[in-house]
Structures are given as structure tokens and as C-alpha cells.
A and B are shown apart, each in its own frame.
Chain A
Amino acid sequence: AQSVTQPDIHITVSEGASLELRCNYSYGATPYLFWYVQSPGQGLQLLLKYFSGDTLVQGIKGFEAEFKRSQSSFNLRKPSVHWSDAAEYFCAVGSYNTDKLIFGTGTRLQVFP
């Protein structure tokens, strides 16, 4: 069965520091991969997505993610974090067989000034 793992429940970084959020997936074929961000009490907003082609994907708000098939990973990165980036981040994989999005459990990002 398809699954998504986000091993870090909570990450704390200082403003201006670099960031990497981890995401590992389990899927038989080439997956559709997504990163979403959620501010407290709000819905989710798409940051970026990967379907095929260039394995380094650029998204909104200065985020990027790299698809690594050999590691079954799709980690999210940002070179310099801003205080407004504090939120919860969800990785998701599209299930080709069932037309469903499967979400990871999320990583809560805290940013210190």
C-alpha cells in the first residue's frame, strides 16, 4: 500500500537558517508528490508538486524540493527561513490506482528570531 512518512514531528530553526524537511514515500510506480503548508486553524496551501521531468522542483515562497527515486524521498528545502514560515508542513503522494491523495503526519516548524 502507498504511504508517506515524515520522520520529524517538530523542527525548530533560527530565522535566516537553512531548512530541510524530510519526506519518504512508499509507492510502486513513479509517484505524484506534493508539499502543502498549513497555518494554524487554516486550510492547506500547495507549495510545490512533482510529476515528472526535472527532479528539482521550485515552489512558492522560496521553497524547493528534490525527488530522489533511489532514496524514495522528496525533501523540502529553503535556504533562509523567515519567521512567517512557521507552520505545519505536509508531504503527500498521489495514489494512481485509487485517485486519492495520501498525506504524511506533518512536520511542525517553529522559527526563532
Chain B
Amino acid sequence: DGGITQSPKYLFRKEGQNVTLSCEQNLNHDAMYWYRQDPGQGLRLIYYSQIVNDFQKGDIAEGYSVSREKKESFPLTVTSAQKNPTAFYLCASSMGDLNTEAFFGQGTRLTVV
């Protein structure tokens, strides 16, 4: 089945540690996105990538980093510089045009302990 897979579903991190969230898609989509979701704030864009080896900052990129070495993969690293990392993180992919649907993964809930 084609889809977009995020792992792990739940992640715990100690303060001061970096952590990487995985996002893989087998939909042959060009574009991939990372969103952060907090209660009452909707989805906020962290980073997005329209093509392999290229990515752009979204609205809240500080404290995060990404890579796009393969079309299928778009991992997100939450660094120790992110002051409030506890949140629900959603990865999405699309054909790249805005008139096409964005497909979402099931999300990763990150908790800093």
C-alpha cells in the first residue's frame, strides 16, 4: 500500500538531547513537509522540500533541521536549541502543486522529560 510513514509514534527525550523523527513516503511525491501541532494553534510549518537536496524554512524553523538526500525520506531533527519541543509532529507529502492533495503521516508525539 502506498502511503507516508512516521516513526516512532511516541518519543521521549531528555532536555539537551537532539532527536530525529523519521518520515518516509512511497507515493513518488516530490514535495514533503513537516508541521508542528500544538493545542489551539493549528498546524505550523517547520520546513518543506520541493525537490531532493533542497529545502526551505517554514514559519517556525528555529531549533530544527532537516535533510532531503532521497526523494522518499525527509527526517526532522529537533535540536537542543528548540526551547519548547514537546508537541505533535506531522509529516506530509504531495505532488508539489498546490492543487493536489497533501497526504499526512500518523504523527509523532515528542515529549521532553
Taking beta carbons and an 8 Å cutoff, which residues of A are in contact with B? 6, 9, 32, 36, 41-46, 49, 51, 90, 94-96, 99-101, 103-106
CA A104 to CA B6, docked complex, whole Å: 23
Contact residue among A32, A94, A100 (Cβ-Cβ distance under 8 Å from B58)? A100
A105 touches B41 (CB 8 A): yes
In the complex, 22 of the A-B residue pairs with CB atoms within 8 angstroms, ordered by the A residue number, are A9-B40, A32-B98, A32-B99, A36-B104, A42-B106, A43-B6, A43-B90, A43-B106, A44-B90, A44-B92, A46-B102, A49-B101, A90-B42, A95-B98, A99-B31, A99-B48, A99-B50, A100-B48, A103-B35, A103-B42, A104-B42, A105-B40
B22 to chain A, nearest CB (A): 14
B contact residues around A95 at 8 Å (CB): 98
B102 touches A101 (CB 8 A): yes
Known: A49-B101, A96-B98, A99-B98. A43 touches B41 (CB 8 A): no
**Of residues 55 to 113 in B, which have CB atoms within 8 Å of A's CB atoms?**
58, 88, 90, 92, 96, 98-99, 101-102, 104-107, 109
A62 to chain B, nearest CB (A): 19
Band of interface residues on B: 20 to 34
CA A95 to CA B91, docked complex, whole Å: 18
A101 touches B98 (CB 8 A): yes
B contact residues around A104 at 8 Å (CB): 42
B107 touches A43 (CB 8 A): yes
A18 to chain B, nearest CB (A): 25
B contact residues around A41 at 8 Å (CB): 88, 107, 109
CA A90 to CA B92, docked complex, whole Å: 15
A106 touches B99 (CB 8 A): no
Does residue B52 face the partner (Cβ distance < 8 Å to A)? no
Does residue B43 face the partner (Cβ distance < 8 Å to A)? yes
